[in-house]
Amino acid sequence: MVSDAQIIDTKPLGDLVEKIVGGGTPSRKKLEFYNGNIPWATVKDLRGQFLQETLEYISEDAIRESSANLIDKGNVILATRMALGKAFINLVDMAINQDLKALYPKPFIDSKFLLYAILNKAKKIERQGSGTTVKGIRLENLRAIPIDVPPLKEQQKIAAILSSVDKAIEQTKQIIEQTEKVKKGLMQQLLTKGIGHTEFKKTAIGEVPKEWELSPFTDAVNINPTYHIEKGTEVEFVEMAAVNTDSPHISYFVKRIVGKSGGTRFKNNDVLFARITPCTENGKTALISELTSDVGMGSTEFIVLSPIKSKMVPTYLYYIAKYWRIRNKRPDRMWKI
* 169 domain residue, yes or no: no
- Of 333 and 234, more confident: 234
Same domain flag for 8 and 82: yes
328 band by pLDDT with thresholds 50, 70 and 90: low
Same domain flag for 213 and 297: yes
pTM given for the model: 0.59
Domain that holds residue 120: 4-161
Q: Which of 130, 161, 192 is the last residue of a domain?
A: 161
State the pLDDT at residue 260.
Answer: 63
Model confidence at 245: pLDDT above 60: yes
Which CA distances in Å does 160 have to 8, 110, 155, 167, 216? Answer: 18, 11, 9, 10, 59
Phi–psi pair at 18, nearest 5 degrees: -70, -40
* 314 domain residue, yes or no: yes
* 288 domain residue, yes or no: yes
* 152 domain residue, yes or no: yes
The residues near 35 (Cβ < 8 Å, ≥ 6 apart) are: 57, 59
- Residue 89 contacts residue 95 (beta carbons within 8 Å): no
Range 263-281 average pLDDT: 77
**How do residues 64-75 score in pLDDT, each as one tens digit?**
988 888 999 999
- Residue 305 contacts residue 221 (beta carbons within 8 Å): yes
* 263 domain residue, yes or no: yes
- Residue 217 contacts residue 279 (beta carbons within 8 Å): no
249: left (phi over 0), alpha (psi -120 to 50) or beta: beta
Range 204-211 average pLDDT: 80
Order across the sheet with 87-90: list the strands: 17-21, 100-105, 76-79, 87-90, 50-51
Q: Which of 161, 186, 220 is the last residue of a domain?
A: 161
85: left (phi over 0), alpha (psi -120 to 50) or beta: left
User: Which contacts of 25-29 are long-range, i.e. CB under 8 A and separated by 24 or more positions?
Assistant: 25/66, 25/67, 25/68, 25/97, 25/98, 26/58, 26/62, 26/63, 26/65, 26/66, 26/68, 27/65, 27/66
329 band by pLDDT with thresholds 50, 70 and 90: low
Average pLDDT, the chain: 84
Range 123-129 average pLDDT: 84
In terms of average pLDDT, the best of 87-96, 201-210, 212-221, 306-315 is 87-96
Strand partners, 221: 307
Residue 7: DSSP 8-state: -
**How do residues 42-51 score in pLDDT, each as one tens digit?**
988 888 889 9
Same domain flag for 43 and 108: yes
Give the span between the Cα atoms of 51 and 4, in whole angstroms: 32
Of residues 19, 30, 20, the one with CA closest to residue 66: 30
Which string of DSSP letters, residue by residue, matches 193-208?
Answer: H-SS---EEEETTEEE
- Of 79 and 173, more confident: 79
Cα-to-chain-centroid distance, residue 321: 22
State the pLDDT at residue 16.
Answer: 94
Same domain flag for 218 and 332: yes
* 188 domain residue, yes or no: no
- Residue 97 contacts residue 149 (beta carbons within 8 Å): no
Range 24-41 average pLDDT: 91
Model confidence at 135: pLDDT above 80: no
* 180 domain residue, yes or no: no
Order across the sheet with 271-274: list the strands: 221-223, 302-307, 271-274, 285-287
Cα-to-chain-centroid distance, residue 301: 21
Order across the sheet with 38-41: list the strands: 56-58, 38-41, 94-96, 69-71
Same domain flag for 29 and 141: yes
State the pLDDT at residue 247.
Answer: 82
Report the CATH number that the domain containing residue 30 is assigned in CATH. 3.90.220.20
- Residue 333 contacts residue 221 (beta carbons within 8 Å): no
Model confidence at 114: pLDDT above 90: yes
Q: Strand runs (DSSP E) across 31-176, as ranges? A: 38-41, 50-51, 56-58, 69-71, 76-79, 87-90, 94-96, 100-105, 146-149
User: Which contacts of 173-182 are long-range, i.e. CB under 8 A and separated by 24 or more positions?
Assistant: 180/246
Q: Which of 108, 129, 161 is the last residue of a domain?
A: 161
How deeply is 74 buried, as exposed, middle or buried, from its count of CB atoms within 10 A (0-12, 13-18, 19+)?
Answer: middle
267 band by pLDDT with thresholds 50, 70 and 90: very high
Of residues 250, 17, 208, 8, the one with CA closest to residue 111: 17
Range 95-102 average pLDDT: 92
Same domain flag for 153 and 210: no
Which CA distances in Å does 11 have to 102, 118, 190, 289, 323? Answer: 19, 13, 60, 52, 55
